Amino acid sequence: VSKRLAAQGIEVDVFTRATSSDLGPVEILAPGVNVRHITAGPFEGLAKNDLPAQLCAFTSAVLRAEAQQEPGHYDVIHSHYWLSGQVGWLARDRWGVPLIHSAHTLAKVKNALLAEGDVPEPRSRVIGEEQVVAEADRLIASTPDEAAQLVQWYDADPAKVLTIPPGVDLDRFRPAPGARARLGVPDDALVLLFVGRIQPLKAPDLLLRAAAHLIAYDPAIRSKLVVYVVGAPSGSGLDEPSSLLALANTLGIADRVRFLAPMPPDDLADYYRAADVTVVPSHNESFGLVALEAQACGTPVVAARVGGLVTAVADGKSGLLVDGHRAPDYADAITKVMGDRAAFSRSAVEHATRFSWDRTTALLLDAYADAMTSPVFGVGAAR
C-alpha cells in the first residue's frame, strides 16, 4: 500500500520497532516511502507479551521524529494492531490529525475461539483495544464479519467502521509454469500445503490428520503424497515443529511431511503453485491472506468456515469451506477438490483478482480523505 500511495504523490513514513542492530535509522523502501526503525528495547529476544513495556520508548521516538519536521508535516495517522494504535492515539492528540486504525486481530474474538492448548490474550490487550476503538476516528475492518465484531464486541460507533479488504500482490502471486521442477517435486505427486504460524490457533496438526485419513481411504496414494508445512513456532501448546513431527510419526506419515521455515514471498509463490491444495484449517482468521495468495497462484483452498475465510474463499468455486475441525471432513473436502481441480483452479485465479492492492489503496485513500474533511480536522489534501 505504501508504495502505491507514493506512486500517487503521497509521502509515507512507516514507524516500526528495530529488530536488528544492523538496521539503519531510516530505510528508503521506495521513492516517497521511508521506513523509520525505532530503537525500543532489545533488538532480539523480546517476547510478544513484553512489547507493551516498550510503548513509552517507541512513542517518545515517534514524537521526536515528528518534532524534527516542519509543523503540520503529517496529515493522517494509520495505525496497525493495538500497540501501534496506542501510539497513534497520543500522536493524534499532539498533532491534531485523524487516527485511522486497523486492528487485524481482536483479543476478545481470539479468546472466544481458543484452540485446545492455546493461551488467551491478556486483559491488558483487551483494555488497550477498547481504548483505541473508542478513540480512533475511523476503524478499518478487513471483512463484514470483523466490522460486526467491532460493533458488537467493542461497542464501536458503526459510523466510524469501514470495511476494506486487504489486497494480494497479483504481480508476485500468479500462475506460472515450472514450479514443481524448480522444487524437485514429481509431476504426479499429490501436494498439500500449510502456510502459517505453528500454533494451536492455526491448527497445522489437522492437516497431518487429514493426510493420514487420505492414505487410509486409498493406500495407493501414500507414495505420491507430499505434505509441506511452511512456518515457525508461535504461541504455546502444539507450537513446536518437533511436536508436529511426533504427531506425523504417530500417524505413520513422517516420511511424507516436509517442514520448512518461513521464506521470502517469491519463494513461497512457487510452493503455492506446486501445491494441489492449500489447507487453512484455522480456528479463527481475521481475513486469510494465505488463502488469497494461494488462489492467486491458481491453487484451490480447503479452509475452515470461520472469520474472514468466508470472504477470502469462494465456497464451491475457488475452494471449499469446512464446518468444524474434524480431520475426516477435511480429507473429504480435499478429495472433492481434486475431483475437479482444473475448474477450482480457474475460479481461484478469478476470485483472487477481486482483491488487488490497487483497489485496497483506492478505498484507503477515500477513508483518509473522509476523515480529514471531518469538522474536527478541517479540509485538506493528503500529502
Q: In a 3-state reduction of DSSP, which class is residue 274?
A: helix
Q: What is the pTM of this model?
A: 0.85
Domain chopping of the chain, boundaries? 1-167+357-373, 179-353
Torsion of CA 54, 55, 60, 66, to 10 degrees: 120
Q: What is the pLDDT of residue 233?
A: 78
Same topology, domains 1-167+357-373 and 179-353? Answer is yes
257 closest CA partner among 211, 316, 188, 312: 211
C-alpha 59/C-alpha 196 separation (Å) is 30
Cβ atoms of residues 132 and 82 within 8 Å: yes
Residue 241: predicted pLDDT: 77
pLDDT at 117: 80
CATH of 179-353, one of 3.40.50.2000, 1.10.1270.20, 3.20.10.10, 3.40.50.150: 3.40.50.2000
Q: What is the CA 305 to chain-centroid distance, rounded?
A: 17
Beta strands 257-260 and 277-280, pairing class: unpaired
Task: List per-residue pLDDT tens for the chain, 383 residues long.
Answer: 999 999 999 999 999 999 988 899 999 999 999 999 999 999 888 888 899 999 999 999 999 999 999 999 999 999 999 999 999 999 999 999 999 999 999 999 999 988 888 889 999 999 999 999 999 999 999 999 999 999 999 999 999 999 999 999 999 999 999 999 999 999 999 999 999 999 888 999 999 999 999 999 999 999 999 999 999 876 544 555 788 999 999 999 999 999 999 999 999 999 999 999 999 999 989 899 999 999 999 999 999 999 999 999 999 999 999 999 999 999 999 999 999 999 999 999 999 999 999 999 999 999 999 999 986 554 334 43
CATH of domain 1-167+357-373: 3.40.50.2000
Q: How far apart are the first and last CA of the chain?
A: 15
